[in-house]
Structure 1
Amino acid sequence: MTRRRPPTSSSRTKRPPGKLRLIGGIHRRRQLPVPDRPGLRPTPDRVRETLFNWLGSSVHGARVLDAFAGTGALGLEALSRGATALSFIEQDRIAADQLADNLATLNATATLLRQDALIALATAPAAPFDIIFLDPPFNRDLAAPSCSLLEQQGWLASEAWIYLETEATLLPEVPATWRLHREARAGESHARLYRRSALAET
């Protein structure tokens, strides 16, 4: 997953620009091209490593959705770690084209929806997902409606994991069925991992 935000010192890594390095699983250390788009950067290695440590064995065999995918860093990382069904949503044509090329390079089968994420999420999926990566562009008030659509339109399995990354100043509104599991701040962003529980519905 990738967001279009101004680069900060906390998001700099030692890898050369224009490359995404997978950090775990069967494609570990594999480097994939990243298109030259304004503000488009793969989720940093450190943040991905923390997230996948939180998720642990839940990734293996999971159905995964990477919304606002950008480079698809989180979805591709899940693929490398054993997710069995992948879907990506990315509106930007160049980013989506490169993501499709990278999936072909990895000989991976996935669904790629080339449209606005809110429009895509407003339609019910064929089957719910076990893990959702949600990293909408900052300062555009997209987090709350995205979370609401995931819940309302049946995108979530009964005990789904939802990773939400927002600007650090935002306290996101999430459905009552979500319980905060872990959180961490990195530079200008705040990462939160929620666990859905249908028993929490009111």
Structure 2
Amino acid sequence: MTRPGPRVGPTGKAAKAAKPNAPQHDKRPHEVRIVGGQWKRTRLAVADKPGLRPTPDRVRETLFNWLASLAGAGGGELPGWHCVDAFAGTGALGFEAASRGASQVLVCEQDAELVERLQKIKAKLAAEAVRIERGNGVTALERAVPGSLHLVLLDPPFETPALYEPALRAAARALRPDGAVYLEAARLWNDDELAGVGLRVFRHLKAGAVHAHLLRAAGESDVAAVEPASASASGTGPSA
């Protein structure tokens, strides 16, 4: 004999268990983690702020593998590198660079609450190589000595596309000939439009809605070296 199932009407136990007017909240804080270097596995809390979109762990891991191959030092290290994280947010990119041996990392952020969080992370890690600055990341890049930076990290808010071109132009000016720019965007930037700011795509991957680019100077010596790598990376990079 088949027994009837539990009542699921308004007076049944199932209705009492599922209260549609009582939203469920995830009590665990949103986090990202440093994936390599001296602070590997250190977790960084992500503030609950509109537009804050930290680079996923797997994308950062791929990015810093690319950068380590350029540094040629082994062990995923970036020894002695001078870097600017121009739109820091959580600071995950800038602190990752410092964790891997960068000697100077300027971390720029305009939001006062996020700057306070970044200062606390710096103190917790005793990150002497990191300098936190509240202000405009593009302005900071424009102040940099031309040709002085090994790495510029650009992850502007997707909601402000007007920031991209001036940020890329300022980054290209500040970059060493052997340096690199990381660009995170909602779309693919191609070589034709990047040529106007003196850069070209060296590596690219798409992870969900994010396009992650590693850019280098578009000098003649770079073109031959970059084209094969760019073609192989564009369609085969990992996704998160």
Q: TM-score range by the shorter chain?
A: 0.7 to 0.9
Aligned residue for 1:191, secondary structure, equals: strand
Are residues 1:100 and 2:125 paired? no
Indicate if the aligned counterparts of 1:70 and 1:90 stay in contact, CA closer than 8 A: yes
Question: Among residues 67, 75, 78, which one is paired with 1:55 in the alignment?
Answer: 67
Change (3 A) 1:125 1:91: farther
Are residues 1:64 and 2:83 paired? yes
Runs of at least 4 residues off by over 6 Å: none
Indicate if the aligned counterparts of 2:171 and 2:181 stay in contact, CA closer than 8 A: no
**Bigger CA radius of gyration:** 2
Question: Among residues 99, 107, 119, which one is paired with 1:80 in the alignment?
Answer: 99
Aligned residue for 2:181, secondary structure, equals: strand
In structure 1, the residue matched to 2:41 is 29
CA distance in 2, matches of 1:194, 1:62: 16
TM-score in terms of structure 1 length: 0.80
Change (3 A) 1:200 1:179: farther
TM-score in terms of structure 2 length: 0.69
Q: Relative contact order, CA 8 A, sep 6+: which one is greater?
A: 1
Aligned residue for 2:152, secondary structure, equals: strand
CA distance in 1, matches of 2:132, 2:85: 10
Q: What are the residue-to-residue correspondences of 1:91-170 with 2, within 5 Å?
A: 91-109=110-128, 110-125=130-145, 128-140=148-160, 141-152=162-173, 155-168=174-187
Letter matched to residue 147 of structure 1: L
Aligned length: 184
CA distance in 2, matches of 1:67, 1:25: 21
> Which 5+ residue runs of structure 2 have no aligned equivalent?
1-27, 72-77, 223-240
**Which structure: greater strand fraction?**
1
**Percent identity between the aligned chains?**
41
Q: Which moved more, 1:159-168 or 1:115-124?
A: 115-124
Q: Which moved more, 1:109-118 or 1:60-69?
A: 109-118
In structure 1, the residue matched to 2:31 is 19
Indicate if the aligned counterparts of 1:148 and 1:174 stay in contact, CA closer than 8 A: no
**Which structure: greater helix fraction?**
2
CA distance in 2, matches of 1:25, 1:124: 26
**Offset of 1:37 from its aligned partner?**
1.8
- The CA RMSD over aligned residues, in Å, is 2.4
Question: Among residues 178, 181, 193, which one is paired with 2:202 in the alignment?
Answer: 181
CA distance in 1, matches of 2:205, 2:66: 11
Indicate if the aligned counterparts of 2:88 and 2:107 stay in contact, CA closer than 8 A: yes
1:177-196 alpha-carbon deviations (Å, 9 max, x no partner): 42321101111121110122
Indicate if the aligned counterparts of 1:118 and 1:146 stay in contact, CA closer than 8 A: yes
